[in-house]
Amino acid sequence: MGSGILLVGTGPREYEQEVLSLFACRGHPKVVKLVEMFADSTRVDDGDSFVATKLAGPRNPRQFMQLRRNK
């Protein structure tokens, strides 16, 4: 069994879009809270980037959408 942590490889543009989207939606009750972010600017093409958010809950998005559909 894994740790439950999923790492998804993305480029700098996708990382930037994710962070900006979370920042723009801050305070919204239906959006997870952006806790921290890090981008290794010393390595442009292959630097590490991380986004930390509050835990949204025990359901993954697919489970959430199935529950909403069944209401």
pLDDT at 1 over 50: no
Domain boundaries, the chain: 12-69
Q: How far is CA 17 from the centre of its chain?
A: 11
Selected residue with higher pLDDT from 7 and 33: 33
Residues 11-59 have pLDDT tens digits of: 778 888 888 999 999 998 888 888 888 877 777 666 677 888 887 667 6
Structure-token pair, residue 26: 């801050």
Quote the pTM value. 0.55
Q: How many residues does the chain have?
A: 71
Residue with tokens 């835990």: 55
The span from the CA of 56 to the CA of 33, in Å, is 9
